């Protein structure tokens, strides 16, 4: 056994959450064996499951568990058809997820987008724009910028109203997200494209200057700058040019969704939200990019890959176990290469593809680890 035991809070949530979480935990157990790691995994309710169990979307006991853990593996929360009368601030999406982001100061959001060549049919772009497959990572600042800057208000003026949102960034906020971006690039193809609007925004000038200065500490990473409007276009025209894409909050919100569309299915997309590092462990919350998919929940139809790859990100960014993260990613790659497809990525025209359910996909990936 390894001398370190990593403490994981597993919060499956609602809809497909429990089935895809089961799959991810099965894969983590396989990794634990193979790499002689030790995971202390504790499951707890969140979302409607939290409301049903303890009257709160984020029960006190669940929050306490998260505080005592090194990382949170999160499923998804929210069921659109459940009690529409419950106030907005008590609904799971806000009361659980936004609360956790705030509680743990999760300032960096990482969204890898990978599309292996064999899944070219899932991508809305023509095959010749996909190169040998897509593989990029959007790193988004999550706690600053226009979404949180003050003043933020709507006031009356003669003839109507005036709405004010304020875009604010400080040097330390840009520095810490830049470090996350450069370090992520080091684990990949060592290229970072920093996105801004330095031709128009004061924030853009400070962003560009700060990222350039931090970049000097990462001489092995190639840094380039791109205006956000051009980046939106380049993602559609030539997505293979990108490795790590570093963005402030609002630009990252928009570009990460645009990039996600390239993968074709939400069922393939993991994400990481990172907070502070202490004692070699970076606190993080890891979750699929998609939601609770009520349309397919409980039917063994959900693609567990987004949740399984979220567990891989946890190993990479929270526990600094690149070897184990890569083993999971390789196992996912093998299952796909072997032709296994859940419904969301199945192409009936592909004679080598075999349609499988959540559990069969999980079994194959765990076995490949």
Q: Which residues are catalytic, by number?
A: 147, 197, 229, 253, 257
Interface with ligand NAD (CB under 6 A), residue from 143, 273, 282, 292: 292
Under rule CB under 6 A, residue 362 binds ligand NAD = no
3-class SS at 172? helix
Among 66, 287, 308, 331, binds ligand NAD (CB under 6 A): 287
Q: How far apart are alpha carbons 306 and 77 in whole angstroms?
A: 15
State how far the Cα of 181 lies from the Cα of 215, in Å rounded to an integer: 10
Helix (H, G, I), strand (E, B) or coil at 148: coil
The residue of the chain with the least Cβ separation from ligand NAD equals: 291
Question: Dihedral through CA 51, CA 54, CA 58, CA 61, nearest 10?
Answer: -160
- Tell me the closest approach of the beta carbon of residue 47 to ligand NAD, in angstroms: 7
Residues 6+ apart with CB under 8 A from 147: 249, 250, 253
Instruction: Confirm or reject binding of residue 302 to ligand NAD (CB under 6 A).
Output: yes
Interface with ligand NAD (CB under 6 A), residue from 69, 193, 256, 303: 303
Nearer to ligand NAD, 221 or 340 (CB): 340
From 59-67, 242-250, 296-304, 360-368, give the range in contact with ligand NAD by CB under 6 A: 296-304
From the list 177, 306, 328, 366, which residue makes contact with ligand NAD (rule: CB under 6 A)?
Answer: 306
* Helix, strand, coil content of the chain in percent (nearest 5): 45, 25, 30
- Sketch the per residue contact string, 56 through 95, with ligand NAD: x for CB under 6 A, - otherwise: --------------------xxxxx------------x--
Phi, psi of 109 (to 5 degrees): -110, 125
- What would the x/- binding string for ligand NAD be over residues 13 to 42, using CB under 6 A? ---x---x----------------------
Q: How far apart are CA 56 and CA 275, in angstroms?
A: 24
CA–CA distance, 79 with 291 (Å, rounded to integer): 9
Cβ distance 275 to 283 under 8 Å?
Answer: yes
Interface positions, 143-202, toward ligand NAD (CB under 6 A): none
Can you tell me which of 296, 325, 328, 368 binds ligand NAD, judged by CB under 6 A?
296
- As a residue count, the chain comes to 369
Residue 246's alpha-carbon distances to 290, 322, 356, in angstroms, are 21, 21, 36
Nearer to ligand NAD, 145 or 291 (CB): 291
Q: Min. distance of Cβ 97 from ligand NAD in angstroms? A: 6
Least CB distance to ligand NAD at residue 257 (A): 11
Is beta strand 281-288 parallel, antiparallel or unpaired with respect to 270-278?
Answer: antiparallel
> How, if at all, do strands 153-157 and 160-164 pair?
antiparallel
Is residue 204 at the binding interface for ligand NAD, with CB under 6 A as the rule? no
Q: Which stretch binds ligand NAD (CB under 6 A): 119-127, 191-199, 227-235, 289-297?
A: 289-297
Nearer to ligand NAD, 76 or 210 (CB): 76
* Interatomic CA distance for residues 117 and 130, integer angstroms: 8
Stretch that binds ligand NAD, among 21-29, 120-128, 136-144, 295-303 (CB under 6 A): 295-303
Our CB check for ligand NAD shows the closer of 167 and 336 to be 336
Q: Are 72 and 320 in contact (CB under 8 A)?
A: no
Q: What is the DSSP letter of 190?
A: S
Find the DSSP H helices in 55-165.
60-67, 92, 99-103
The answer to the question of residue 291 lying near ligand NAD (CB under 6 A) is yes
Give buried/exposed letters for 237-248 (b at 16+ CB in 10 A, else e): eebeebbbbbbb
Contact string 241-270 vs ligand NAD (x = CB under 6 A): -------------------------xx---
Q: Name the site residues for ligand NAD (rule: CB under 6 A).
A: 16, 20, 76-80, 93, 97, 266-267, 287, 290-296, 302-303, 306, 344
């Amino acid at each position: 056994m390894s001398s370190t035991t990593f403490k994981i809070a597993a919060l499956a949530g609602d809809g497909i959450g429990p089935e895809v979480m089961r799959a991810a935990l099965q894969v983590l157990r396989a990794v634990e064996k193979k790499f002689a790691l030790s995971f202390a995994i504790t499951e707890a309710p969140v979302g409607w499951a939290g409301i049903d169990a303890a009257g709160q979307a984020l029960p006190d006991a669940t929050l306490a568990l998260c505080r005592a853990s090194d990382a949170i593996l999160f499923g998804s929360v929210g069921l659109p058809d459940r009690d529409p009368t419950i106030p907005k601030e008590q609904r799971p999406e806000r009361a659980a997820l936004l609360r956790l982001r705030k509680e743990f100061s999760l300032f960096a959001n990482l969204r890898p987008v990978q599309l292996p060549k064999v899944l070219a049919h899932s991508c809305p772009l023509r095959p010749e724009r996909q190169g040998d497959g897509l593989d990029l990572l959007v790193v988004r600042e999550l706690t600053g910028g226009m979404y949180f800057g003050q003043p933020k208000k709507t006031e009356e003026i003669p003839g109507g109203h005036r709405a004010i949102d304020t875009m604010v960034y400080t040097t330390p906020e840009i520095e810490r997200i830049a470090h996350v971006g450069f370090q992520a690039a080091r684990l990949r193809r060592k290229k970072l494209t920093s996105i801004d609007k330095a031709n128009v925004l004061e924030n853009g000038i400070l962003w560009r200057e700060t990222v350039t200065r931090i970049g000097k500490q990462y001489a092995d990473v190639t840094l380039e700058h791109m205006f956000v409007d051009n980046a939106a276009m380049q993602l559609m025209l030539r997505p293979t040019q990108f490795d790590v894409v570093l963005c402030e909050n609002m630009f990252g919100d928009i570009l990460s969704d645009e990039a996600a569309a390239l993968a074709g299915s939400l069922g393939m997309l993991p994400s990481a939200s990172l907070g502070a590092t202490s004692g070699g462990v970076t606190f993080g919350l890891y979750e699929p990019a998609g939601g609770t998919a009520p349309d397919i929940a409980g039917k063994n139809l959900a693609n567990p890959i987004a949740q399984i790859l979220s567990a891989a990100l946890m190993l990479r960014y929270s526990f600094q176990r690149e070897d184990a993260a890569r083993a999971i990613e390789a196992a996912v790659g093998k299952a796909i290469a072997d032709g296994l497809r859940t419904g969301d990525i199945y192409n009936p025209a592909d004679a080598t593809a075999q349609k499988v359910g959540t559990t069969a996909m999980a079994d194959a990936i765990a076995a490949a680890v």
